[in-house]
Chain A
Amino acid sequence: MEIKLFDSELKVMDVLWKEGDMAAKRISDILKERVGWNMNTTYTLIKRCIAKGAIERREPNFMCHALILKEQVQEQETTELINKVFDGSADLLFASLLNRKSLSTEEIERLKQIVNNLK
């Protein structure tokens, strides 16, 4: 199932992915400090994530549980990127990544490693 999440919703998911299940109140506290959202804003976003099926609400205390994995979202976003900009071919994306000037030597080494492992 494909779930399209906006940046702000991903920010909420990010908290759950990094720190596991937690109460909505705590998510709100964390995000207030991190991005400056008030409680209303965060709760609205949590409710939207619940409606989209990305979060499950568990009682008591409005405990939030992520229903989708970070990897799922990553894969979904990558597929969209490949289809949209790289004509559906993953190797073009890969070539584009390699051509980036900002890539450090370690990063290049790691990428080489991945390719070698695939062979």
Chain B
Amino acid sequence: MDIFQMSLSASVLIVAVVFIRALALHKLPKKMFLVLWGIVICRLLIPFSIPSRFSFYTGIDIVKRMFAERTAVSSPAEMTSIPKMMSMPGTAEPIGIGASAASISPIEIVWLVGMCACALFFIVAYIKCRREFKMSLPIENDDFITRWLQERPMWRTVQIRQSDKIKAPLTYGVSRPVILLPKKTDWTDEVRLRVILTHEFVHIRRFDTLTKLVLAAAVCVHWFNPFVWVMYVLANRDIELSCDETVVRTFGETIKSAYALTLIGLEERKNRLTPLCSNFSQNAIEERIVSIMKMKKTSLIGMILALALVIGLPAVFATSANTAGQADDQEPSVRRLVLLRGANIDTQTVRAMTNHPVMSIFDQATGKDRISWDEGKTWTTVGWYSYDEYKTWLEQEKEKLQAVVDYEQSLTGEKGRTVSGDRFVWNQGLMDEVVRQEERVLRDIKNGALVTKSIDGRDVDASMLDDDDDVMMTFAIENSGFKRTW
């Protein structure tokens, strides 16, 4: 699964979370949204997926299949038959879908450059801020602050300092967190101080600084995806909302209006100095105030709904469609196959055929594909080799070939000499070449390639020298990200 696929599937999840957030922000516990964003982050940064038959993508596959089957019947034939040419196994060369499979594509370079630029921006901003924050001064002779800190022992040492360069309280540092208060804080207003400090303390306890760094990392990796930026903004807001929620729970509902007023007071100060970004943050602060004032004990229904969402949403959107050899799923799925290689088919022909992917309907119940070379006019049923099957066959084949080679050598008396004439003669070199190719096929299978075992019920002779009608062919599922290993 490459980065673009990860980005795409996470986008669907983000849209779902944004939708729920817009509908029920004030009705559901805010922590739930943090859990949902956490799932989105996992989806964005961890390159694996859990197959599920309830997946959204299984649904998409079903729709796609219905659509494909309907159009398949009416579309004209593009390909007629499989061209076949003889080629000696010794001269067969590896054939790739794209020549540059191993090197980096231009799109990947653009992505890397964007990611570096984005990371650089965040790192420079972070270092600059940190340098300023480090110039903060200790708060001297304030009994309340000292007492407050002593009441809350933590295994990380927490410092409270002041600075004349910031307008609103903030927290920085992960392992040695520092709460920074503006110099102009009213040190005598203990109620307000207590609320502010508790808010920052909740941030520290929850490692929110670290969370914000992870969010920034996700944005850097997926900088090209606008949905991820939306997530970045909203998740940062939800961190604050959830923190507010905890503070109000701690102090009781009576503090709500005082707390909201404190926030408005802080925001006023901020906005006067940065009028340019006031519009955006105005929106955010409004959301915060409304959220605080509307806060009440979460109802049982709310809790159940939240729980259902946290479990259900990822199950539907964060999993991938259940495909590829899952015999328990009865739904057939449509896919397109690209010819990688075929015994007795030369490179040029394969390249030409690669441009016309073969339509296939995969029946998970039988593990077989029905493939059509002519866009749905005629269908053949193809069975595939499993890794173990091919491996067993290969072992037997090796023994057989060795016996032939040994026999030929005993006839000629010399090792490795080809006898000229009409008769094709095996020698050790030829055998090694054939075995090497067959081992490549084995590696292909391991990497997800499909190798024909039977066509319309007839077993295909897997040896490279077969010139029967049913030649062994290696396919890759189109857009599956299949990479050849040589």
Contacts and interface: CB of A to CB of B under 8 A. Distances in A.
A44 B136 contact: no
Contact of B134 (A6, A11, A41): A41
B265 interface: no
Nearest to B140: A35
A54 to B, nearest CB: 15
Nearest to B136: A8
B156 interface: no
Contacts of B286: none
Interface in B127-174: 131, 134-138, 159, 163-165
A7 B165 CA distance: 9
A45 B135 contact: yes
B183 interface: yes
Interface string B107-145: 000000000000000000000000100111110000000
B138 A41 contact: no
Interface in A20-45: 35-38, 41, 44-45
Given A11-B137, A35-B137, A36-B138, A6 B164 contact: yes
Interface residues on B, range: 10 to 19
A7 B164 contact: yes
A35 B135 CA distance: 9
Contacts of A37: 134-135
A37 B137 CA distance: 9
A8 B138 contact: no
Interface in B160-209: 163-165, 183
Nearest to B138: A35
A35 B162 CA distance: 11
A104 B165 CA distance: 33
Interface residues on A, range: 10 to 19
B282 to A, nearest CB: 27
Contacts of A45: 135
A11 B135 CA distance: 10
A6 B134 CA distance: 14
Nearest to A42: B135
B468 to A, nearest CB: 77
Nearest to A6: B164
A8 B138 CA distance: 10
Contacts of B135: 6, 8, 37, 41, 44-45
A41 to B, nearest CB: 5
A49 B335 CA distance: 69
Contacts of A35: 137-138
Interface in A36-74: 36-38, 41, 44-45
B137 A41 contact: no
A41 B131 CA distance: 7
Contact of B165 (A6, A36, A38, A41): A6
Nearest to A34: B138
A5 to B, nearest CB: 10
A64 B134 CA distance: 22
A8 B131 contact: no
B137 A44 contact: no
A37 B459 CA distance: 78
A45 B131 CA distance: 10
Contacts of A6: 135, 164-165
A7 B134 contact: no
A95 B301 CA distance: 62
B183 A44 contact: no
A42 B307 CA distance: 51
Contacts of B164: 6-8
Nearest to A41: B134
Contacts of A11: 137
A8 B134 CA distance: 10
B344 to A, nearest CB: 71
A44 B163 contact: no
A24 to B, nearest CB: 16
A38 B137 contact: no
Q: Which 10 A-B pairs have the closest CB atoms?
A: A8-B135, A7-B164, A41-B134, A35-B138, A35-B137, A6-B164, A41-B135, A7-B137, A45-B135, A11-B137
Interface of A: 6-8, 11, 35-38, 41, 44-45
22 contacts: A6-B135, A6-B165, A7-B137, A7-B163, A7-B164, A7-B183, A8-B135, A8-B137, A8-B163, A8-B164, A35-B137, A35-B138, A36-B138, A36-B159, A37-B135, A38-B134, A41-B131, A41-B134, A41-B135, A44-B131, A44-B135, A45-B135
Given A35-B138, A37-B135, A44-B131, 18 more contacts: A6-B135, A6-B164, A6-B165, A7-B137, A7-B164, A7-B183, A8-B135, A8-B136, A8-B137, A8-B163, A8-B164, A11-B137, A35-B137, A36-B138, A36-B159, A41-B131, A41-B134, A45-B135
